[in-house]
Amino acid sequence: MKRLAILASGSGSNAEKIMEQFQKSTKGKVVLIASNKSEAFVLERAKKFDVPTFTFSKKEMEAGVLLKKLQEEQIDWVILAGFLLKIPDELIRAFPERMVNIHPALLPNYGGKGMYGMHVHEAVKANGDQQTGITIHLVNEHYDEGKIIFQAATPVSKEDSPETIAQKVHALEHRYFPEVIESLL
Ligand SMILES: Nc1nc2c(c(=O)[nH]1)N[C@@H](CN(C=O)c1ccc(C(=O)N[C@@H](CCC(=O)O)C(=O)O)cc1)CN2
Ligand SMILES: NCC(=O)N[C@@H]1O[C@H](COP(=O)([O-])[O-])[C@@H](O)[C@H]1O
């Protein structure tokens, strides 16, 4: 049974769907939810599933505190689900090909520093794109440049707002991210 840790900085709707998926899985178990924000709602969601939580600061992450915790918990896979800090190289090296991220756009479009959350959907709307989607990828030393594992698209109409685009993207994330993770284990 593989041991999964989820890193998230905010609401955690993806983390919740992943915890639901692995409640009934024989391949993996979510054993830790970790956040750089002590007020993140994802920590409340973890309590519903009796998953232990861990909070840390950017400085602590960069000093190796998060890596030490992941090693202590014998984590096999690290899942980034709305995590908004750059993962340090040392942490990436500790989980070669075992760290996965979800990005709310069709990379390589709309990736890189500053491209997260509503910023992405606002850019898609501003550019008048006729589609958007999700990308699930391995994590490397650069934002959003790791090997792409999965992508799914959804149409965008002129009537869509950044908010309705976000809803469409979230629906894709919730539909596919849990299953793609399980397929990797
Ligand atoms: N080494 C890596 N770390 C992270 C990656 C990655 O691919 N390699 N993915 C991100 C997730 N992400 C997009 O999918 C992403 C998250 C945040 C940012 C960003 O610009 N962050 C801001 C800080 C925001 C904040 O502190 O609230 C910044 O760096 O200035 C870009 C992309 C997770 N980590
Ligand atoms: N570039 C990273 C990024 O923008 N990630 C995005 O943050 C949201 C988190 O939602 P959630 O907290 O409800 O799962 C998700 O849409 C995810 O793709």
Domains of the chain are 2-184 (3.40.50.170)
Proximal ligand: closest to the CA of 11: 2
Q: Report d(CA 5, CA 31) in Å as an integer.
A: 6
pLDDT tens digits, 29-79: 999 999 999 999 999 999 999 999 999 999 999 999 999 999 999 999 999
**Which pLDDT score, from 0 to 100, does residue 62 have?**
98
Interface ipTM: 0.98
Confidence of residue 151 (pLDDT cuts 50, 70, 90): very high
Stretch 143-156: mean pLDDT: 98
Q: How far, in Å, from the CA of 26 to the mean position of ligand 1?
A: 31
Looking at residue 44, what is its pLDDT? 98
Whether 8 is in the pocket of ligand 2, judged by its Cβ within 6 Å, is yes
Is residue 17 very low, low, confident or very high in pLDDT (cuts 50, 70, 90)?
very high
**Average of per-residue pLDDT across 131-156:** 98
| Pocket lining: 160 vs ligand 2, CB cutoff 6 Å | no
Share of residues in the chain with pLDDT > 90 (%): 100
Secondary structure of 100-145 as H, E, C letters = EEEECCCCCCCCCCCCCCHHHHHHHHHCCCCEEEEEEEECCCCCCC
87 CA distance to ligand 1 centroid (A)?
8
Q: Is 117 annotated as a binding residue?
A: no
| Over residues 149-154, mean pLDDT | 98
Answering whether pTM is above 0.90, one says yes
